[in-house]
Structure 1
């Protein structure tokens, strides 16, 4: 992989990317509030489960298929993937997160590569472009290999979630680094699983995550938007 491609992927994975990922905990805050996550071990276990049961089977699988669709300029397939991801978000908060981050990345892409004619159909996706679908176009623009793009996406997610755990549990920086290390060990397998899934094998079924996300919408005290 060329150095310029690697740097583009590092840019996309950076917390400095102005898409607001740092402001979401994806129901981890609710898991802390209800006593399901109280220490480093439980936080790590929670995020490992979420990586394999949620991200790998849904977002990462959509990302891989959206990269192929953007490369083929198959806007119909892009609309189908975007609709599937919006529809399968099980709570209002999780849907708003996917759409807000997708819209923010779309605006960033407009400033970065305004001549790309695929930006118009991305912007026109209803009800909004979602985060994995917008990220897929960014990866295609960077000419990133598919597996490396998925690794980048997963690492960005992991880093944001570990930062959420540091604030919500709370945990120290060393504990956060140990959790991030555990996630990095598991991310390649999660990515490979996502790449192996056919179109009809994607799924979004994490009932406890959905329940906690719904509870978070009315949680008395909150640091995060989800």
Structure 2
């Protein structure tokens, strides 16, 4: 239902609001469906790898430093640079690579469903002519970090703020899933998130200097767990 009494956002974007769009986009309330995915964490709990606060912290930190979070941040940066330059062809290349790097069907669904939902929501709520033009680079699936990077660049958000905020949001989503799955409480989950802050900032500082050759993960058990999750008997999450 349309909201009456509100002026439509200008087609060239919204000026003078600082980082507020970023806070909205990476909020759990933003309609990308992130609550439905655990990035194989549900299987790790089922397998007994995650049983308490310490094991949850170790698992998530590995995903940050050696797993998908690091690669997604690199892909976001590459997409940001392509969108900033207005290079739709380069943006399409980065997106195709991001989609291809998903190690399982569930994890491909995780990134692509969220990416498309994110792009649709931003285009509807924070419209921008350049974003509409660049969206033509996406002929099908859209990886989540690529969508975030492109939207952030078009709206003039600083990359040095977008990358750590994005990493923080990824970690917060995993902690939220862990609270729902493992025998830990909300306070324990917040301790895990707080302890990750220095690692998030250190990794974010490295990202602008990294490129395609730096992509890759070494979280093999998590990747295999995503395959096993597909046939797990009881499941709350889609990945």
Q: TM-score range by the shorter chain?
A: over 0.9
Q: Distance in 1 between matches of 2:53 and 2:128?
A: 46
Give the drift of 1:198: 2.6
Matches within 5 A, 1:168-207: 168-207=181-220
Matches within 5 A, 1:11-30: 11-30=24-43
2:155 aligns with: 142
Question: 5+ residue gaps in structure 1?
Answer: none
Cα distance per residue 1:79-136 (max 9 Å; x no partner): 1111111111000000001100011011112212344243354255243111011101
Retained in 1: the 8 A contact 2:106–2:230? yes
Cα distance per residue 1:41-78 (max 9 Å; x no partner): 00001101100012453100011111110010111111
- The structure with the greater share of residues assigned to helix is 1
Matches within 5 A, 1:23-172: 23-122=36-135, 125-172=138-185
Retained in 1: the 8 A contact 2:83–2:134? no
Cα distance per residue 1:189-216 (max 9 Å; x no partner): 1212322213322224432111000000
2:9 aligns with: none
Q: How many residues align?
A: 225
Retained in 1: the 8 A contact 2:130–2:154? no
Which structure: larger Rg? 2
Q: Structure with the greater relative contact order (CA < 8 A, sep ≥ 6): 1 or 2? A: 1
